[in-house]
Structure formats: C-alpha cells, structure tokens
Structure 1
Amino acid sequence: MIKTIAVVGRDEDAWLTALMLQLSLGKSVQPVEVTLVELPSNVGAQDFYATIPSQRAFHELLGLSEGNVLSAGRGVQSLGYRYSGWTGDSSAFFHVYDTAGTSLDGIDFLQFWTKARHRGLNVALDEFSLAAAAARRGKMIMLNDQTSAYSHANHGYNLSALSYLKGIAKVALAAGVKHIVAEVERIRVKEERIESVLLKGGQSLEADLFIDASGDGELISQLNEGFRRWDQWFLCDRAIVASAERLRPVASFNQLSAVHAGWLGLYPLASRTGVTMQFCSRHINNDEALGVMNAAVGQPVQEPKLLALEVGVRTKPWVGNCIAVGNTAARMDGLEGVQLHVLHTALSYLLTLLPVTADYDLERNTYNTRLSGHIERLRDFQLAHYSLNGRHSDPFWRACAAVELPEALKEKIELFKARGVIAMSESETFQEESWNALLTGCGIVPDSYDPLVDKIPEDHQIQQFQRMLSFVAERAEQMPDMETFVQVHDAGSYSKGLF
C-alpha cells in the first residue's frame, strides 16, 4: 500500500501533479502523504501556456472553474489555430476545435465536400465550420439549441505562466500539500529503486513513490532510463519566447505563420501577446530569428528568451518506484499546445494504476504502454504539419517534407488521400475533425469519396451546402466579441473563488 509520495520537480508539472495527488489521495479513507520538493523555476515573465480543450476538464477535476483559471492566468480562450504560409502561398487555413458541416443521410460531410471539390467547388472545408467563422470575425462561440445541433465547438486556453503558477501553488498549499524548496544533492538508488533523495541543506526524503516532474529527468535518469530524441523528425532545435503588446481587439485564435527556417506564433493573452519562434539553427542564427520576430510584430519584442529544443520521449516513463510525468515523460514540439495534455494524460493513468500492493509490475507496464501510445499519436499529429508543408523553395521546409514518417502516420495520410477516411486508434487525442482540418488545410483532396454520396441528388447537395454556409455566416455574426470576454475575466470578476 502506498502511504507516501514525493513529487520532485518544478513549475507546472510539479505543482499540478502535487495538487492532483493531494486532492485525489490526501483525504481518502487511507490518506497518502504528498510532499512537493520544488526545484528552481525555469519560468520567466515572457512564458505562457497554450492548451487544448481537454484542459478545461482537467481543471474542473482540480475544482477550478474556467473563470478562476482565466483570471488567475491573465488568460483568454482560444478557438484554435490559423496557419498561414504553410502551403507555400499566401493562403491560410484554420484548425479549430469544431466540426465542419453536418452529415447528410448518415454520410459524413467530408465525403460530400470531396465530391464537390472534384466537381469544381472552390470553398475550403473550414468555411463550413462555425468556430472558424467566429474566429475570422473575432467572436467567441456561445452555443444554443440550434447551433449545438450543427457545431461541437470547444476552446482551449492561453495562460500567462507566472500568474497561473502562483494561483495553482496557492490552491495546492491550501489543499494540504507539504512543500519544500530545495535542490537535489544526491539520489540513493538500490536495485533499480530510489531509496531516498538527499537535498542540499542535509534533509533526506524517503517515499514509497517518487514522481519526477523535473523536466530533465533528474530522478529517473539515475535508474538508467534514457531519453530518446526525435531529431530525425523534428528539425527545429531552437526557440525564442517573448512578449509583445496586447492585441486590440484580441483575436479568438492563435496565429502560426511559416517563415523560411521555422515558424512564428502569436498567442493572445489578457494583458499582452505571447510570441514564440521555433527555428532550425542550421538555416538561421539566433539574431536573425529575433529579427524575424521583431519584423512580424512591428516593433522589438519584450524580454526575449532563447531556448534549446530537445523534442523526444522517455523510453520507459515508469521505472522501479519512480514515475516520469509531463516534460520528464515527453518534451513535445510547440505546435498545437499539447504539452500540458501530456501531463494530464500521465496523471490520469497514474491515478488509475496507483499500486495497491508491493508488486506492481503490471501497473508499471500498463502505464508505460498506454502513455507511450498517446505520446506517439500526439507526435504524429504534430509531425504531419511539417511533413505536408508546401514551401518547396525553402531548404528547411524541403527537409521537413523529406523525413521518413512513422509507419502509422504514413498509413493514416495515404488512407485519407485515397478515401477521405481517418484510421483512428484508441490512443488519439485529436479526433477525425482535427485530422480533416489539418490534411485538407495542407492541400489534400481525397482521390475518391463514398459511392453512397451519388444516391443523393446533386441539386439537393448544392442546396444543403448553401444552407450550411448561410447558417454559419449568420450565426457567427451574432456571437459576442472576444474582446468582451477578455475584459470580463481580466477585470477579476471571477477571482474571488479558489484563487
């Protein structure tokens, strides 16, 4: 029976892990003592977190309302991403957290759209998405009975890291997490298990389980567990994170623009704009990359911070009595804001598989297999962005398009090209509508469509297309401005809750 858990780490991985464990186990019938050893922070004033919609449910599990999270994190909601320049021309496409179109006679809308494209339709798939239409207009989605029958729109968050972490730490301490601020002096290991962690200052910490939330594997690396880099797939090895002036009015999406040796992201926040650039140092140096950022923003960015990127995965995130979570388990590419989701997934599996006996080989193997599967599917979704780019005149982007893809991703793309069907696995985070948005946005029109489409008269199909486009435009125009939402949350009207 597990009686003590030590979380050793920093920043979001450490605080969120300690809070989740304390809320789930700290006051159970047989309570588990949760101790957090907080290592020196890596977070600066320029840092921010971009998240996907799953983080809404994650924070609800922590007892944190959306209003509290946004107010504490000086954050905004995001309907998704707008990609510009990725296809090699001036066009752009949206990946929003929403469906596009509705099925007709039980047949997926994408099949009708594919036929229409073969017949000359020049309307992108995202034009049929209510969330994309709202994003184009600077609106926020508010679904009612009519719109929810058409759209499944959702949203993620953009959060200022420092203010968000202060709020999470306050909640964790109030929940009863034991807190030690220290650095690790030495780790005692015996028979592939951590016996204790000796902290600078002389304190020795023992526990039944050790959670490595350090980001760099400070604990789990002592158990001879390596980190497998994905340099063969992800060619960006540097990033710059900075701030810029707040967008007015604020956008309801994140903007990702391809540049000649990487990409530039603009992330709206309540009081500023988060700016990041990922790039390949073989094609552009640090000063040149900063110049690209400044030119895109229109003025020098504030507090730029240079980072070395090491995208990859821990081969076995659970070894002995040490469990890697978050950045320690996998460091993802910056596309699509999935890093916090890795932490969320790891904690979900950990709580489900928490050992109840001294022999927990089965739980450990299951954790390793399932978490690795989720991480690989996230990797594939990110990798498809690079692989399917159309920037053939740029050496960096040509190299991205030439990488040998993992077999599962290769088969997924080929099946979609042939039939307009996504081969989904149980480990997927992004569902069919996200894959449809990405693959069609990158210029893929499937070669064929479901023959059942031809049984529906073409004039009826055309009428339905026109009806959907009119409905989307009219309803999106009626949505509230995103600026209104930001002003409400930034005014702190929800900040009297848990934060």
Structure 2
Amino acid sequence: MTRVVILGRDAPLWLAACVLQAALRAAGVVVTAIELPSKLYPSDVYATLPGIEALHARLGLDERDLLRGTRGAFSLGQNIVDMLGGNPAFLNAYGGYGTAIDGADFFGYWVKGRDAGLPAGFEDFSLTAAAARQGRVMIPDEASEVYGRADYGYHLPAIAYAGGLKSVATRTGITVLSANHIAVERDETGDLIALVADGQRIAGDLFVDATGDDAALIEKTLGIAQDSWRTHFPVDRMFVARGPAFDPIPTYAELRAWHGGWTALYPGQAATHVVHAFASSLIGDEDALRGAGSASGLALSDAVLRPSDPGCRTEPWAHNCVAIGGAACALDPVHNLDLHALQLGLIALLTHFPAGADAAPSRAEYNRVMRGSFERLRDYQAAFYALAPFPGLFWHAGRAAEPPATLAHIIATFHARGELPPMEEDSIPFDHWRAMLTGLGVVPVSWPPRIDATDDAEVAAQFRRMLGFVKDAVSRQPTHAQALGHG
C-alpha cells in the first residue's frame, strides 16, 4: 500500500497526515490530506497527556514555538474540586509518585503508612503535584528521573494548534486539498478506490477517516455502527466556552463538581477554556449555561452547545478504511482524552501498517488493539462517575450506573490490596489510576505482604527523604510565566 488518503478536519487530520508522512515517507508511501470545513470554535481546546511531547519532537515541533504560536500553557495534571462541600480537593498529577523502597513499589508502603497514621497525602510525594501547587513547571532532569517521572502536558487552543499542524504538513510535502463535498468510489468487494473532492478524483490504497463524529467514511459509507456506552455515563450535553485568562496562569486544569454536573477549566495565555458537562434530563440548557458561569467564576463568551454520546466502533478498521480519533471512538468529555485517543490510533496504525497486499491480519490486530485501548479509556472515565462522592441527582446517577465488568474488577482489586490488575492496552499509568482512586475515596484495606519485610523505621526515614527531595527540587523550578518565556 503506497497511497494513503486522509479525509478529515482540524487537528486529527493534520496530526494524522504529519505522523504518517514522517513515518512512512522513506518506504515510498505518498500521503494526501483532504481537508473538510473546520468545526472548531474559539472556545475549543485540546488538553494533552505527556506522551504528545515525544510525538511533537518527532515532527520537529519546537515546544517554545508551539506554546508561543498557540498561546497555550503547560499542564501538570488535573485538580478535582468539590464545590458542593465536604470532600477535599486532590490533584491527579502527571508523572510518578514516590520512589521504590527496598526494591518494591512505593504505593504499598504509602498504603501501610496511611493505615498507621501517616499524615502525608499521596500527592505530597509527587514532584509534579508539588510544583503545580506552587505555580511552577517541573522540568525533568537527571535527579528527578532517578526519583520518578516528572511529566507534563499542554493546554492548546484548538484553532491555533490545528493551524500550526497544517503548516507543518504543507512544509513536509504532503499533498493538501480542500473540499466541501465528497463522493466515494468503491469496487465490487466494497473497498474504497477513490474519493472525489469537489470534482477532483483522488485514488488511494488505504483511506483514513479523520472526520470526527461525522464518521463520513467508516459509518456513512461503510455502515460500521458504534457500540453505545451511554449506560456508563450521566453526561449527554456540554457547553464549551472561554473566559479571561488567569493571572498568574495555573499549571493545571481544574474540574469542579457542581450539583448538575461538572465544570472543567483549562488555563491558557490568552483565555481560560471552559467545558461544562451536564445531564439534560436534570437541567435545561439555559440553566446549565448560567451554571457554567457560576461554577467557573468567569464571564464567559463564545459558548457552543454539543451533545455527548460515548461509544466505540465495532470495527475501527473496515475494508481498506481506518477510522481514527472521534470517527473511531466518541469519549465522554471528562479528562479531555480525545487527542490521546487519536494518538493511540496513529501509533497502532503505524505498528500494524500492512507491508503487502493482504491487509486482513493487520486489520484484525488493529481492531483488537484499538477496541481494548478504547475500552480502557472508557473504564478510566467511568471510574470517575462510579466513585465520585459528591451529592446530588447527577452524581447519584453516575454511582447508580452499572460499571463495565473490567472496571468493577479494577476497583475491587485495588480496594482489596492496593494493586491494579494489569490490563492489556491500558495507556493510563498506574500512578494516575492510583491518584484518582484514592482521591475519590477508595482506601485499600491491605497491601502486598512484601511490604512488611522492610523495617518501619527505615520506611519512615525514606518517606522523610522523599518529602525533602520533593521540596528542594520544586523550589528550583521555573514559575509558569518563566517557563512560557514571560519572565
């Protein structure tokens, strides 16, 4: 397969085009990108997990130029705040928590210490959480890598980010076309053989559907349905909006629980982007929009109402068409994982890109891997609603919903002994799971027996050394303004 045609819009189109071009050009693969009209609004934002940094580096994107061009910001995680009262906030930070003791994972020692009255919270042992609380950006170095991972992501205003990726695509020799109307040609087997973009015919061997919830090729052409995850998620509508930038700019996102749903704030240099998610059965659109202003504490503008209907394609790759991003899987808006899901699809496509004419084995493996990857993201998102301790009908509905069987197993195992069962295709790091589960009140009642072999006094000394290292390391880090080149 030497001709790849990508149909889509916005960041999914351009990220797919740039990644496939960079990885496959040496093998003689020619990439054509067909751009549909944008669906983005000034209020849209992409929140990224740390893994996007390596992908940007592969594409030659300079971090400083990226943040300057998009007016984006660093993010060290997500702060969860109960606006209804009674539950302490916790920061689900990127990177690692603590460092190994006596060759064993830190978390079991923390669980045992907490059971014995240890006053330090789990996030106190995180370099990134401590930096975020102090308005600093934790830049990884040799010392911090020995201690544990110190990662960060970004908040990237979507229009500017997509524009920057398009510039990269055009500079790297990708054939770029724009179209308002698309016709599809298929052969007798049902495979796609060409797209006709505003009258111009573009033939291909492999077609990538990056059209988001339009699913123009995978669903509207090939008829591949979406398995609904509706029963696991109480959110069915959301507003995206923006308000004034904070000064200083926080180095984390914040999710605020309110009586009708939740409000997420994604700080940037030029604006604070807001996602306000709710259940239409419990609150009307106008009241929800007023609630967004109240919960965010900001004067909002550019508000756009969108549906939320989570689910996954039964076959993300059908015939010779591969769906990525929103065309393959519609995620719940919590944690803003859409760009992460897109990245997982691109990595899997490169891993299983067919070397010969017979794509069936690659297609079968891609579908298996991506179904598993999407379901693990579903579990992580559903855990938030299943465990959230906040009062009100919305949160009661989330707790009352039957969790996926895999999630029920994860929660039960974690509660029993503080361990997470290894799940194939899970792209969420264990410490990220641990921070969320403990923050939402799941307290392990035991720990692995190996933990008891280490002397308690030695463990206490190790805890003191860790907390001292975190304090000293964070004090040397730049403020967010300095990291953005403002001071």
Q: TM-score range by the shorter chain?
A: over 0.9
- Counterpart of 1:269 in structure 2 is 268
Deviates more, 1:203-212 or 1:361-370: 203-212
Tell me the amino acid that sits aligned with residue 58 of structure 1. Answer: L
Match of 1:133 in 2: 130
**Matched residue, 2:454:** 456
Which residue identity is paired with 2:426? E
| Structure 2 residue identity aligned to 1:191 | T
Which residue identity is paired with 2:230?
D
1:79 corresponds to which letter in structure 2? L
Q: 1:470 is matched with which residue?
A: 468
* Map of 1:177 onto structure 2: 174
* The 10-residue stretch of structure 1 (300-309 or 328-337) with the greater mean CA deviation from structure 2: 328-337
Distance 1:38 1:449, change over 3 A: same
Quote the residue 1:193 is aligned against. 191
Secondary structure at the residue paired with 2:230? coil
SS of 1:16's equivalent in the other structure is: helix
| Contact 1:192–1:319 (CA under 8 A) maintained in structure 2 | no
SS of 1:364's equivalent? Answer: helix
Matching residue of 1:419: 417
Mapped to 2, the partners of 1:279 and 1:439 lie a distance apart of: 22
1:69 aligns with 2:52: no
Alignment check: 8 A CA contact 1:86 1:442 kept = no
Query: What CA distance in whole angstroms lies between the structure 2 residues aligned with 1:451 and 1:196?
Result: 61
Residue 340 (structure 1) shift: 1.2
User: Is the 1:227–1:314 Cα contact (8 Å) retained in structure 2?
Assistant: yes
Q: In structure 1, what is the equivalent of residue 443 of structure 2?
A: 445
Distance 1:4 1:450 in 2: 52
Structure scoring higher RCO (CA < 8 A, sep ≥ 6) equals: 1
Indicate conservation of the 8 Å contact 2:64/2:484, yes or no: no
Q: CA deviation at 1:413?
A: 0.9
Q: Which residue does 2:19 correspond to in 1?
A: 20
Match of 2:333 in 1: 334
CA, structure 1 residues 168+144, in 2 after alignment: closer, same or farther (shift >3 Å)?
Answer: closer
One-letter amino acid matched to 1:42 = K
Could you say which residue in structure 2 is the equivalent of 1:219?
A: 217
2:431 counterpart of 1:429: no
Output aligned runs, 1:73-472, within 5 Å.
73-85=70-82, 89-189=86-186, 190-200=188-198, 202-215=199-212, 216-221=214-219, 222-391=221-390, 393-472=391-470
Contact 1:424 1:432 in 2 (8 A): no
Q: Report how far residue 426 of structure 1 moved.
A: 3.2
| Alignment deviations for residues 399-441 of structure 1 (CA, whole Å, 9 cap, x no partner) | 1011111221111111110011111223111121111111111
What is the deviation of 1:188? 3.0
Q: What runs of 5+ residues in structure 2 fail to find an aligned partner?
A: none
Partners of 1:380 and 1:354 in 2: how far apart?
27
Q: Is the 8 A contact 1:52 1:337 kept in 2?
A: no
Shift of 1:88: 6.3
| C-alpha separation in 1, matches of 2:466 and 2:171 | 50
* Maintained 8 Å contact 1:74/1:164: no
What amino acid does structure 2 have at the position aligned with 1:133?
A
The 8 Å contact of residues 134 and 141 in structure 1, kept in 2 or not, is answered as yes
Q: TM-score, normalised by structure 2?
A: 0.95
- Check the 8 A contact 2:244/2:299 in 1, yes or no: no
Q: Deviations over 1:106-142 (max 9, x none)?
A: 2222222212222233432111212111111111113
Alpha-carbon deviation of 1:80? Answer: 0.6
* Runs of 5+ unmatched residues, structure 1: 492-499
Question: What's the offset of the Cα at 1:208?
Answer: 1.2
Contact 1:52 1:336 survives alignment (8 Å)? no
Say how many residue pairs are matched. Answer: 484
- Given that residues 244 and 298 in structure 2 are in contact (C-alpha distance below 8 angstroms), is that contact kept between their aligned partners in structure 1? no
User: CA 1:225/1:145 → structure 2, altered by over 3 Å: closer, same or farther?
Assistant: closer
Superposed CA deviations along residues 263-291 of structure 1, whole A, max 9, x for unmatched, are 11111112111111111111111111111
Give the AA of the match of 1:315. Answer: T
> C-alpha displacement at 1:100, in angstroms?
1.9
Q: Deviations for 1:373-420, whole angstroms, at most 9, x for unmatched residues? A: 1111111111111111112x3111111011111221111111110011
For 1:403 and 1:388, how far apart are their aligned partners in 2? 11
For 1:171 and 1:331, how far apart are their aligned partners in 2?
27
* Aligned counterparts of 1:461 and 1:195: Cα–Cα separation in 2: 64
Give the C-alpha shift of residue 460 in structure 1. Answer: 3.0
* Bigger Cα displacement from structure 2, 2-11 vs 453-462: 453-462
* Structure 1 residue 309: Cα displacement: 1.3
Q: Distance in 1 between matches of 2:29 and 2:472?
A: 54
Task: Tell me how far apart the structure 2 counterparts of residues 170 and 117 of structure 1 sit (CA, whole Å).
Answer: 51
Matching residue of 2:9: 10
Given candidates 38, 41, 45, the residue that maps to 2:42 is 45
User: Match for 1:471: what amino acid?
Assistant: F
- Farther-moved stretch of structure 1 (291-300 vs 91-100): 291-300
> Hey, what's the Cα distance between the residues in 1 that align with 2:39 and 2:364?
31
Q: Is the 8 A contact 1:87 1:443 kept in 2?
A: no
> Mean alpha-carbon deviation: is it higher for 290-299 or for 52-61?
290-299
Q: What SS is found at the alignment partner of 2:353?
A: coil
Cα deviation, 1:323-354, whole Å, max 9, x if unaligned, reads 10111111212222321122212112222222
- Helix, strand or coil for the counterpart of 1:437? helix
Of the structure 1 ranges 406-415 and 17-26, higher mean CA displacement relative to structure 2 is found in 17-26
The range that moved more, 157-166 or 463-472, is 463-472
Question: How many percent of aligned residue pairs carry the same amino acid?
Answer: 36
Q: Which moved more, 1:365-374 or 1:99-108?
A: 99-108
What's the offset of the Cα at 1:185? 4.2
The answer to whether the 8 A contact 1:128-1:468 is kept is yes
> 1:228-273, CA deviations, whole angstroms, 9 ceiling, x for partnerless residues?
2211111211111111111111111111111112111111112111
Q: Aligned with 2:143: secondary structure?
A: helix
Q: Residues 255 and 355 from structure 1, CA distance in 2 versus in 1: closer, same or farther, beyond 3 angstroms?
A: same
Q: Report Cα offsets for 1:443-472 as digits up to 9, x if no partner.
A: 122111233333333333333323322332
* Distance in 1, Cα, partners of 2:426 & 2:84: 25
Distance 1:132 1:46, change over 3 A: same
Distance (whole Å) between structure 2 residues aligned to residue 341 and residue 146 of structure 1: 28
Q: Is the 8 A contact 2:135 2:250 kept in 1?
A: yes
